[in-house]
Structure 1
Amino acid sequence: MEKRVFSWLYVYMVLAVLVLFAPYWLWWLKPETKLDLLIVDKTVPDRSYHEHQGLVWVLNQQKYVHGNGKRYKAARDYAGFAPKQDETYEVRPLPKEMARYDAVYIVDTYGVYEEEFVHKQTDGARAKVYGGLERQEMESLWRFARQGGKTLIAEFNSMAHPTEKEVRASFAQLFGLEWTGWIGRYFPDLNSQEVPVWVKENYKAQYGKAFSFRGPGMVLVDESDRLLVLDRRDLGGGGVMFSSTKAGEARWGGKMRTSYSYWFDIVKPLDERMVLATYTLSLSERGKEKLRAIGLPFSFPAVVRYETKTYQSYYFCGDYADQGELPSVYQTVGLDVWR
C-alpha cells in the first residue's frame, strides 16, 4: 500500500515538474523561422542598445533566426551608430547589396548627441555627433523596395529632426503617408524629470515664463519647435489610447486596446483604409478647443500599412521598440503575452 502511494506521489511530482517547466521545454520544441532582417538604429549613445533591444528580444523569443541559423544579438545585428568600450565609435553603413534581406526595420534615426555620448548627460543643449536619415540611404531603401516581395518597417523617430526635409518627403512617400510636423507625449506628471530640459527651455523662450506645470499633461511640439502644453484642465479621464481599427482587427485576428504613454508623431495616411490602429487623446472641451486652434485632430493613426505591387510597409507612429527593461530570459513560451 505504501509502495503504491509512493508511486502515485512520484508520478504527481513528475507531472508537476513537467507543467512547471512546460513554457521552457515548449520553447525548445518550437521550430525556428528564418528571417533576414536588417535593423537600422542611429540612436545608440551607449551599449545598452535600448532603442532596438526590445525588437531583438522579440525576434529571439519568437525564434526568428538569420538565414545562416544564428540568433539575433542587439550589439551585433544592426546598421547605424556603434559605440565602443574606449568611448570612441564607428558608423555601420547600410549594406551596399541589400537583396538578401527579407525586410528592413528602421528603429530610430534621431542620432547621438554630445550630452549623452561625450558628457554622459541625458538632456541639455543638443549638439549632434551623428544622426538623421541621409539621401543615399533613402535611395538604397527605394532600391530595396523595388526588388519585389520586400517589407519595410519604421517607427518614430525615423523622419523627424534632424532628417532634412527633402529626405523626409521621400521617406513619407515610401511609407504612404504625410507627416504633419507635430510630435507629442503624455506625461503622468509634468513636474517630473521625464519632461526634457529642451521642452522647458522652449516653453520659456516662447511664452516668456517658466515651465511650472504639475500633474498629468501632454506636450505637443512641431518641427519649428512651436510648443503647446495641455495641463490637467485640458485632459479628460485618461491620456493616450491605442486602439485597433476594423482593418487592424481583420489583419491581427482580434481587437487591441491599451494606453500609450511615450512619444508619438501625428501623420496623415494617403488612404484611411491603410490605418490599422489609432491614437485617441483624452481631452476636455478646453483641450479640444486648443487643438482645433492649431488644426490638429483628437484621433490620428498609430499604425499605417501601405502596399504596392512590389513591397509592403508598416509605419509605427510611436517609439515601440524602445524598451528600457527586459527579462534576461527569452526562452519561454507565453512570456511575450504575459509581458
Structure 2
Amino acid sequence: MKKKLFLGILFIFLGIPLIMYLAWLLTPNTKLVVAIIDKTVMDESGQEHISLNWVLNHEKFTKTSEKPYRIDTDYFGFFPGQNKDYQLKGLERFSASQITKLSNDADLVYFTDTYGVYNNDWFEGDKNGLLYGGLSDEDTELMQLMKEKQKLIIAEFNTIGSPTKHYNRKRFEDMFHLHWTGWTARYFENLDIKQNAEIPEWLVKNYNRSHKHKWPFKRSGIAFVSDDQQIVILEEGRHLQSAMPHIITEEEHQEEYSIPESIKYPFWFDIISYDKEVNEAVSIFKMDLTEQGRKELVQNGIPATFPAVTRHTGKDYSFYYFSGDFADNPVRLGSSYFKGISFFKGLFYDTRNPMERSSFFWKFYQPLLTKILVDFSNK
C-alpha cells in the first residue's frame, strides 16, 4: 500500500510535469516576427519584457520557423554589459530604408518600456541626466509604417511619458487617437517614509516643495505625478476607502479575453483619454474613493476612472495600449515550457501579499496577450 502511494506521489511530481513538457515540445512552432522595443534593461534578465517573452515561448511563437526568442538578445534598445559597459541597439541607428525593411519583415511591434536608463542609475556617483531613452523619431516612423501595413502595434505605460519629447508624443497621440493627461501614478502599501524605502526621494522632495515641507502620510495610498512634477497623494482612510487600485472589465470583454471582472494592480500606470469614435476601453482603472478623494481629483483635473486597456475598433489597423507596466512581472521563463501550466497558476502567487504582481500576470496579462497574439496570427 505504501509502495503504491509512493509511486502515485512520484507520478504527480515527475510524471505530470514530464507530460506537460512533452506536450509543449510537440506543439508546432508558429513563426511570428515581433519587434520588441525595450529601453530600460538593467541586466540580462530583461525584466521589462520578460512577461512578453514568456507568452511567446509558451505559445511556441518563434522568430524563425525553428528559433525561439531569446530574452537577452532579441529586442531593440539598451544592452547592458560588464563593468558598466553598454551598447545602444535601438532603432535610432537605423536609416529610413532599414526602418521600412523592418516594417515589412515584422508582423508586430511591442513597446514594452521607453523610460530608459539614467546616468545616476547606471554609473556610480551623482551624474545626472538621461543616458538613453524616450520614444524616438525612428520609433514613431516604424509605428506609422506598421499602421499603414495593417500590422499589430502594442504599446504600454510610459511609451509617451517622460523622457519622450513633445513632438513624438504628439505624433503618437494623433496616430492612435488617444491622449496622455500628463499624470502617472502608483500604489504604495505604506506611505510612511521612515518605514518604506521604496518611496522615491524625488517624490517626497517635490511634494514638500509645494506643501510647506510637510509629508503627513503614514498609511497606504496612491501617488500621482504630473509631467511638471506636481504631486497629489490619496491616502487610505481620508481619500480612499481602500487604497489598492483595481482593473475592472465588463462581462463582454471578460469572456472575449478570459480575464476576471476585477484584478488588483499595485504598480505604475498612466492616465490617458481616448477618441471613442475609433477606440474603446477593454478594461478600466477604478479607485475606491471617498468624497474627499473625489474632490482632490477634481481640483487637480484627474479623472476618477480611466482606461487600463485601450484598443482600436476599426479593421484598418490593429492597436492596443496598456496603461500600466504590464510586461514587467516577477515570472520565471522556465515555467513557460510546460503546456497547461496555467491550470496550476494558484501555486505561483500568494494574494495575501498586497504588493505581489504574479497574480496579475497569470490572471490578466497572460490570457489577454495570448488572445491578442493568437487572433492576430490567425488572420
The 3-state SS of whatever aligns with 2:135 is coil
Asked whether the 8 Å contact 2:29–2:65 carries over to 1, the reply is no
- Give 1:335's aligned residue: 341
Aligned residues: 331
The 3-state SS of whatever aligns with 1:25 is helix
Shift in Å, 1:11: 9.6
- Give 1:22's aligned residue: 19
Do the aligned partners of residues 15 and 74 (structure 1) sit closer, same or farther apart at CA in structure 2, a change above 3 Å counting?
A: closer
Asked whether the 8 Å contact 1:175–1:314 carries over to 2, the reply is no
CA distance in 2, matches of 1:240, 1:325: 21
- Give 1:218's aligned residue: 222
40-49 vs 329-338, greater mean Cα deviation: 329-338
Where do residues 90-109 of structure 1 align in structure 2 (5 Å cutoff)?
Answer: 90-94=87-91, 96=98, 97-98=101-102, 99-109=104-114
Shift in Å, 1:133: 0.8
Do the aligned partners of residues 304 and 126 (structure 1) sit closer, same or farther apart at CA in structure 2, a change above 3 Å counting?
A: farther
- Give 1:155's aligned residue: 156
CA distance in 1, matches of 2:288, 2:139: 38
C-alpha RMSD of the superposition:
2.7
83-92 vs 241-250, greater mean Cα deviation: 241-250
Do the aligned partners of residues 156 and 331 (structure 1) sit closer, same or farther apart at CA in structure 2, a change above 3 Å counting?
A: same
Shift in Å, 1:15: 6.6
Do the aligned partners of residues 304 and 296 (structure 1) sit closer, same or farther apart at CA in structure 2, a change above 3 Å counting?
A: same
Shift in Å, 1:307: 4.3
- Give 1:263's aligned residue: 268
Shift in Å, 1:301: 0.4
Deviations 1:170-204 (A, max 9, x none): 11223331111111111111121221111011112
Deviations 1:46-102 (A, max 9, x none): 333211122112211222111342111111110011121242221113262211111
Shift in Å, 1:311: 1.6
CA distance in 1, matches of 2:280, 2:23: 36
Do the aligned partners of residues 336 and 14 (structure 1) sit closer, same or farther apart at CA in structure 2, a change above 3 Å counting?
A: closer
CA distance in 1, matches of 2:314, 2:87: 35
Asked whether the 8 Å contact 1:134–1:163 carries over to 2, the reply is yes
Shift in Å, 1:281: 0.8
Alignment counterpart, residue 131 of structure 1, candidates 130, 133, 137: 133
CA distance in 1, matches of 2:158, 2:152: 19
Question: Whose Rg is larger?
Answer: 1
Shift in Å, 1:29: 2.6
Do the aligned partners of residues 32 and 256 (structure 1) sit closer, same or farther apart at CA in structure 2, a change above 3 Å counting?
A: farther
- Give 1:230's aligned residue: 234
Where do residues 35-114 of structure 1 align in structure 2 (5 Å cutoff)?
Answer: 35-94=32-91, 96=98, 97-98=101-102, 99-114=104-119
- Give 2:298's aligned residue: 292
Give structure 2 stretches of 5+ with no counterpart.
349-379
Q: Residue 106 of structure 1 aligns to which amino acid in structure 2? A: F
273-282 vs 249-258, greater mean Cα deviation: 249-258
Q: Residue 213 of structure 1 aligns to which amino acid in structure 2? A: F
The 3-state SS of whatever aligns with 1:190 is coil
CA distance in 1, matches of 2:85, 2:6: 58
CA distance in 1, matches of 2:49, 2:321: 16
CA distance in 2, matches of 1:262, 1:286: 23
- Give 2:244's aligned residue: 239
Where do residues 173-188 of structure 1 align in structure 2 (5 Å cutoff)?
Answer: 173-188=174-189
CA distance in 2, matches of 1:69, 1:188: 44
The 3-state SS of whatever aligns with 1:251 is helix
Do the aligned partners of residues 308 and 245 (structure 1) sit closer, same or farther apart at CA in structure 2, a change above 3 Å counting?
A: same
261-270 vs 231-240, greater mean Cα deviation: 231-240
CA distance in 2, matches of 1:283, 1:63: 43
Asked whether the 8 Å contact 1:61–1:336 carries over to 2, the reply is no
Do the aligned partners of residues 182 and 13 (structure 1) sit closer, same or farther apart at CA in structure 2, a change above 3 Å counting?
A: closer
- Give 2:191's aligned residue: 190
- Give 1:172's aligned residue: 173
Tell me the percent identity: 32
CA distance in 1, matches of 2:40, 2:5: 56
Shift in Å, 1:24: 2.4
The 3-state SS of whatever aligns with 1:21 is helix
- Give 2:206's aligned residue: 202
Give structure 1 stretches of 5+ with no counterpart.
none
The 3-state SS of whatever aligns with 2:84 is coil
Do the aligned partners of residues 9 and 112 (structure 1) sit closer, same or farther apart at CA in structure 2, a change above 3 Å counting?
A: closer
Write 1 or 2 for the structure with the bigger share of helix.
2
Runs (4+) of structure 1 moved beyond 4 Å? Answer: 8-17
**1:302 is aligned to 2:308:** yes
